[in-house]
Structure 1
Amino acid sequence: MTDPERVDHAGPIPGGRVRHGTGVNATRAFPTEAHPTNRDPFVLFERFYIDPDAGFPMHPHRGFEIVSYMLDGGMEHEDSLGVSHTAREGDAMRITTGGGIRHSEFPADGAACNGLQLWVNLPRERKEIEADYADAAAADLPTATEDGATVTTVIGDGSPLELHTPMEYLDARVDDAWTWTVPDNRTGFAFGVAGAGTADGDRIDAGDVLPVDGGRSVEFAPEDSDSSSDDDDTEFRVVCVAGEPHGEPIRQRGPYVL
Structure 2
Amino acid sequence: MPETQMYSVSSKDSRPVVKKFLARPQPEGFGATVRRSIGRFELKYFDPFLVLDEFSVSAPAGFPDHPHRGFETVTYMLQGAVTHEDFEGHKGSIETGDLQWMTAGRGIVHSEMPASNGTQKGLQLWINLSSKYKMIEPRYQEIRSKDVAEAAKDGVNVRVIAGEALGITSPIYTRTPTMYLDFSLKPGAQVRQPIPVSWNAFVYILEGEGIFGNSHSSPTTAHHLLLLGSSGYGLEVWNKSSKSLRFILVGGEPLGEPVVQFGPFVMNSQEEIDRTMEDYENCSNGFEKARHWKSESSVFLGF
Q: How does 1:1-258 map to 2 (within 5 A)?
A: 10-33=18-41, 35-157=42-164, 158-175=169-186, 176-199=189-212, 200=214, 201-216=217-232, 217-225=234-242, 232=243, 235-258=244-267
- Say whether the 8 Å CA contact 2:18–2:229 is kept in structure 1: no
* TM-score normalized by the length of structure 1: 0.88
Greater per-residue helix proportion: 2
Shift of 1:179: 1.9
User: What letter corresponds to residue 180 of structure 1 in structure 2?
Assistant: Q
Partners of 2:100 and 2:33 lie apart in 1 by 20
- Say whether the 8 Å CA contact 1:40–1:250 is kept in structure 2: no
Identical columns (%) = 34
Residues matched between the structures, number: 242
What is the match of residue 4 of structure 1?
none
Q: CA RMSD in A?
A: 1.7
- Say whether the 8 Å CA contact 1:154–1:169 is kept in structure 2: yes
From the CA coordinates, give the structure whose radius of gyration is larger: 2
Change (3 A) 1:9 1:173: closer
Partner SS for 1:139 = helix
Structure 1 residue runs without a partner (length 5+): 1-7, 226-231
What is the match of residue 6 of structure 2?
none
Structure 2 residue runs without a partner (length 5+): 1-15, 268-303
Change (3 A) 1:198 1:9: closer
Partners of 1:137 and 1:107 lie apart in 2 by 17
Partners of 2:80 and 2:208 lie apart in 1 by 19
* TM-score normalized by the length of structure 2: 0.75
Partners of 1:46 and 1:81 lie apart in 2 by 25
- Say whether the 8 Å CA contact 1:59–1:102 is kept in structure 2: yes
Partner SS for 2:219 = strand
- Say whether the 8 Å CA contact 1:98–1:131 is kept in structure 2: yes
Partners of 2:129 and 2:19 lie apart in 1 by 28
Shift of 1:215: 4.2
